[in-house]
Amino acid sequence: MTSDATGTAAQPTEHATTEHPTPTPDEFLWLEDVEGEEALAWVRERNAHAEGALTGTRRFTQTKAAILEVLDSTDKIPGVGRAGDHLYNVWVDAEHERGLWRRTTLESYRTETPEWELLLDVDALNEAEGEDWVWHGARVLRTGPLAFTRALVDLSHGGSDADVTREFDLTSKQFIAPQDGGFFRAESKGSLGWIDADTVFAQSAADGEPTSSGYPRRARRLRRGQSLEQAELVYEGEVTDLYISAHHDRTPGFERDWVSRATTFYTDELHLVRPDGELELVDVPASAEAGVHREWLMVELRDDWEVGGAVHAAGSLLAIDFEAFRAGAREFTTLVAPTPSTSLAGLSWTRHHLVLNVLDDVKNRLEVLTPPADATVPGAAWRRRPFTAAPAIGTVGVAAVDGDDEGELGDALWMTATGYLTPTTLSLVQLDAEGAEVSAEALKAAPAFFDSEGLVAEQHFATSQDGTRVPYFLVRRADLALDGTAPTLLYAYGGFEISLTPGYSGGLGRAWLARGGVYVVANIRGGGEYGPAWHQAALKGERHRAYEDLAAVARDLVARGITSHERLGVQGGSNGGLLTGNMLTQYPELFGAVVVQVPLLDMERYHLLLAGASWVAEYGDPEVPEELAALRTFSPYHLFDAGRTYPPVLFTTSTKDDRVHPGHARKLAARMIAAGKDVTSYENIEGGHGGAATNAQAAHMQALAYTFLWTRLSGGSTATAQAPDGGPTAS
C-alpha cells in the first residue's frame, strides 16, 4: 500500500452529514483512539494474554532465536546503492538494532570483508538525543561543487510513516542544524529532494491543509535559510487529491523539474515545470504511468488508449521522443505488448540501454533494448536482445548501478537472483554498446539458513468459481505423503497490482519448512501477475473474485491430498489482512487457523482512518450508497456473525502504524472476544506499518505467528522433521 501522510492519532469520527449512508452501530468505536488510556489498557491486557498463550514454550523460544539469528546474521548480503565513488548501505544486526549508515568502494565491496566507513550510528544518535529514531532513507547531493558531500536523511519515530528530514554533512559526519543553515523538515508525511546545493523541493503534510488522504497538498521550492512558509509555491493541489510532489531530474544535458499530481491511487498528472515557472501537462491518459528519461517519454498503460491512429492495449509500454511529443507527435513505438500470460514487472535504464523484466506465468524473462541513435525518427526500431546472464530458475531482478555514469559502470547492472529454496545472490553484470553481457561477476551470496535437501518448489493452478485459472507456488517435501495431514501455510495479497514472486526466507525455512510444514503462495486476482486486467478484475465491487480465487486454492490443496482444512492456515498483512479477514468470516470452514496482520477490516469507516481515503480507488467509496453496499459484502468487521463457528485467529498490528489504523484489528478482535471466539491479539508499540522497528521485534512478531499456526495446525503433535534452530547457523 501507499504510505500514509498524517502521523496524527485518529479520533473516533462519525459521517459528516445526514446525507451520507447510515453507518452500522459500532460499540467498539472507542478502540480507534490510538493513544487513548482506555484503548491502550485493552491493548496491554490482550498482549499479556497473547504472551501467556504463545511465548512460554520451548518451541516459541527456539523459533524466535532461529529467526533472529537469520535477521542478525553478519553473512547477509549488504544491499548497496551507488553515489559518486561510493556504495552506500544501511546495516542492522544484534549490536546495531536501529542501524549503521555506512559506505565503501566497489573495489572493497568485491572483497570478502569490505572496509566500511561509518557515517551515522542510529543507535548512538538515539542515545544522545533521547529519541526512538528508525532509519527511513537518504538522498545524496550529486551535482555541483558540493556533490557527494551532503545528504538529506529521513528519520522516523518508532517506524511510523511520518518522519523528519535533516541535512547531513558527509565530510564531518554531523547533522547541520537549521540555525546553521541546514535544511530541515519537521515531522510529517512528505519529503525534501535536492535541486542543487542550496535549493530543494519540499512537500509536507504539515504545510497548511493536507489532502483528504493526509498527504502533502503543496510543493515548494525551498532555498537555504528559508522557512517552509517563505518558500516559493510551485504547485497547490486540491484537498480531494491524493499526493502532490515535485522532483528535479539531474541527468546531465536533460535537467528538468517536474510536478506530480496524484488525483487517486491509480490516476495522476505529470507536469513539466517550464523555465517561466508555468506547468505543462504531459498529455497522456490519467490512468497511465508516464516518465521521461533523457530523450524518451515512456508510457505504461493501465487502460486501452487510441492515439496516433493506433489502439494500444492496456499493459503496453510505449516510447516516443519527448520533444517531438511536445510538438504534437503521437506515433508511439510499442516496446511491450501484453499477452494473456505476461505482464511487465519492471524496467531499468542504464546509460545506453533499457532492460525489461517481464513475468510470464509469474516467471521472469529479461530483455535488453537499445533505443535508436536518433530519437526524432518516427517508428525507428529499438534493437532487442535476450538478457542471457539471468539464471533459468528463480526470481531475477536487475537495477542500473548508475545510469548517469559516462564510464563503464554507466551500462552496469546489479542482478539479484533468489527462490524459495535458493539463497539470494548478487552479481554485477556489464553490458557493452550492443547490449550484450560482457561479464557477470558474482559479488555476494547469502548463506543457506536451512537445509533444503529433499524439498521441492512447484507451480500449480487452481480453478476459481468463474473458471479462471489461478496460479500458486507450493513448497513441500518431495516425499510428502499425500494423506492430508501436513500443516500447510497459505499466503496471498491480492491487491494494488502487486505481484508475488518466489524469494528466499531463512526465517520461514527454519520456522516452517524445516519442521515438515508446507508453504503455499497464491497469485490471486487483484495482484499484478498478469497485468492491469488481473488487478482490475478484483477492484471495488468485484473484490469477491480475489476471495473466490484464494478459496479455490485452499480447496485445490485439499483435493491434491497436500493437507486438510483442519491443517490449513492462511496468513496475510495490510491488504492481505483484509483478505485473510474475509477468509475468516466468509470461508471459515476452509481453515484450521487464520493470521490477520496490520489489516483493514472495517470497510464502512476505513476512509476516515489515517491513509484510508487514499485507497478509495481500490475498494470503493463508503460515502456513495451503491459502493457502500458493495463494501459491506467484504467488510469482515460487519460480516462477523456471533452465532457462527470460526477457526482460531491471531490479530497483530502496531500502535505506531499511521498508515492502516490499528483500530481495525482491535475492533474485530474485541467483537469476536465478546462473542466467546478463540482470539489471540498482539499489538506492537513500535514498528509502523511494517509491524516491527528492530530485528528483535520482527523476530518476536514472526515467532508469535509461526508458533500460533504450528500449534493449531499440527494436531497437537510435537514431532518435527527438524527443529527450527537445527538448520545451518549464520556463521
Query: Cα angle at 344 between 338 and 347, to 5 degrees?
Result: 135
Question: Tens digit of pLDDT for each residue in 248-261?
Answer: 999 999 999 999 99
491 and 529 in a single domain? The answer is yes
Three-state DSSP state, 278: coil
Last residue of a domain, one of 425, 447, 469: 447
Question: In whole angstroms, what is the distance from residue 608 CA to residue 76 CA?
Answer: 41
**Which of these, 503, 529, 353, lies nearest to 416 by C-alpha position?**
503
Residue 4's pLDDT is 31
Sign of the Cα pseudo-torsion (360, 364, 367, 368, in order): positive
Pick the range with the lowest mean pLDDT from 164-168, 179-183, 375-379: 375-379
Q: Could you tell me the CA-to-CA distances from 411 to 43, 140, 437, 671 in Å, in that order? A: 52, 21, 10, 57
Residue 20's pLDDT is 52
Given the residues 160, 574, 614, 635, select the one marked as catalytic. 574
Question: In whole angstroms, what is the distance from residue 294 CA to residue 675 CA?
Answer: 61
> pLDDT at residue 445 above 90?
yes
Average pLDDT of span 391-420: 94
Average pLDDT of span 540-556: 98
Place of cell 518431495: 478
> pLDDT at residue 729 above 80?
no
Place of cell 541513435: 373
189 is a domain residue = no
For the record, the C-alpha cell of 570 comes out as 492462511
95 is a domain residue = no
**Which of these, 576, 604, 571, lies nearest to 495 by C-alpha position?**
576
> pLDDT at residue 634 above 90?
yes
- Please list, in sequence order, all residues whose beta carbon lies within 8 angstroms of the beta carbon of residue 269, skipping any fewer than 6 positions away: 260, 261, 263, 281, 282, 286
Question: In whole angstroms, what is the distance from residue 463 CA to residue 594 CA?
Answer: 22
Confidence category of residue 688, pLDDT binned at 50, 70, 90: confident
Last residue of a domain, one of 390, 425, 447: 447
Average pLDDT of span 25-29: 94
Question: In whole angstroms, what is the distance from residue 523 CA to residue 529 CA?
Answer: 7
Given the residues 499, 689, 700, 714, select the one marked as catalytic. 689
> pLDDT at residue 331 above 90?
yes
> pLDDT at residue 2 above 80?
no
Place of cell 525507428: 380
500 and 434 in a single domain? The answer is no
> pLDDT at residue 721 above 90?
no
Question: Tens digit of pLDDT for each residue in 124-176?
Answer: 999 999 999 999 999 999 999 999 999 999 999 999 999 999 999 999 999 99
> pLDDT at residue 12 above 80?
no
Residue 9's pLDDT is 29
731 is a domain residue = no
586 and 644 in a single domain? The answer is yes
507 and 417 in a single domain? The answer is no
- Residue scoring higher pLDDT (492 or 717): 492
Question: In whole angstroms, what is the distance from residue 476 CA to residue 517 CA?
Answer: 7
Q: Are strands 679-684 and 649-654 parallel, antiparallel or unpaired?
A: parallel
Are the C-beta atoms of 704 and 711 separated by less than 8 Å?
Answer: no
Question: In whole angstroms, what is the distance from residue 227 CA to residue 220 CA?
Answer: 11
Q: What are phi and psi of 506, to 5 degrees?
A: -65, -35
Question: In whole angstroms, what is the distance from residue 717 CA to residue 711 CA?
Answer: 8
312 and 405 in a single domain? The answer is yes
- Residue 287 is a catalytic residue: no
Confidence category of residue 691, pLDDT binned at 50, 70, 90: confident
Question: In whole angstroms, what is the distance from residue 426 CA to residue 77 CA?
Answer: 8
**Which of these, 189, 144, 137, 140, lies nearest to 162 by C-alpha position?**
189
Query: Cα angle at 365 between 363 and 368, to 5 degrees?
Result: 160
Confidence category of residue 687, pLDDT binned at 50, 70, 90: confident
Are the C-beta atoms of 216 and 192 separated by less than 8 Å?
Answer: no
490 and 368 in a single domain? The answer is no
Residue 13's pLDDT is 30
CA atoms within 13 A on the CB side of 438: 12
273 is a domain residue = no
511 and 585 in a single domain? The answer is yes
Confidence category of residue 411, pLDDT binned at 50, 70, 90: very high
> pLDDT at residue 312 above 60?
yes
Q: Are strands 518-522 and 488-491 parallel, antiparallel or unpaired?
A: parallel
What are the start-end ranges of the E strands in 217-374? 218-223, 232-236, 243-249, 256-264, 267-273, 279-281, 289-293, 296-300, 305-307, 310-312, 317-321, 333-336, 342-349, 354-360, 364-370
670 is a domain residue = yes
472 and 431 in a single domain? The answer is no
Q: Could you tell me the CA-to-CA distances from 54 to 48, 693, 708 in Å, in that order? A: 10, 21, 7
632 and 657 in a single domain? The answer is yes
Three-state DSSP state, 236: strand
> pLDDT at residue 15 above 50?
no
Last residue of a domain, one of 416, 447, 478: 447
Widest pairwise Cα distance in the chain: 73
Are the C-beta atoms of 341 and 530 separated by less than 8 Å?
Answer: yes
Residue 21's pLDDT is 62
Question: In whole angstroms, what is the distance from residue 587 CA to residue 216 CA?
Answer: 40
Q: Could you tell me the CA-to-CA distances from 310 to 307, 318, 332, 379, 581 in Å, in that order? A: 6, 12, 9, 13, 44
Residue 541's pLDDT is 97
The radius of gyration of the chain from alpha carbons, rounded to an integer in Å, stands at 26
Amino acid at 56: G
Domain total for the chain? Answer: 2
521 and 432 in a single domain? The answer is no
208 is a domain residue = no
Helix/strand/coil (H/E/C) assignment for every residue in 579-604: HHHHHHHHCHHHCCEEEEECCCCCCC
Can you state the percent helix, strand and coil of the chain, rounding each to 5?
25, 30, 45
Question: In whole angstroms, what is the distance from residue 666 CA to residue 32 CA?
Answer: 8
Share of the chain above pLDDT 70, in %: 95
Question: In whole angstroms, what is the distance from residue 365 CA to residue 472 CA?
Answer: 18
Residue 716's pLDDT is 57
**Which of these, 212, 214, 632, lies nearest to 203 by C-alpha position?**
214
- Residue 574 is a catalytic residue: yes
CATH number for 509: 3.40.50.1820
- Please list, in sequence order, all residues whose beta carbon lies within 8 angstroms of the beta carbon of residue 230, skipping any fewer than 6 positions away: none
Helix axes 58-71, 695-713, angle to 10 degrees: 140
85 is a domain residue = no
> pLDDT at residue 10 above 80?
no
617 and 668 in a single domain? The answer is yes
339 is a domain residue = yes
415 and 325 in a single domain? The answer is yes
* Residue 665 structural domain: 38-68+456-713
Beta bridge partners of 82: 87
Q: Are strands 133-140 and 150-157 parallel, antiparallel or unpaired?
A: antiparallel
Question: Tens digit of pLDDT for each residue in 364-375?
Answer: 999 999 999 887
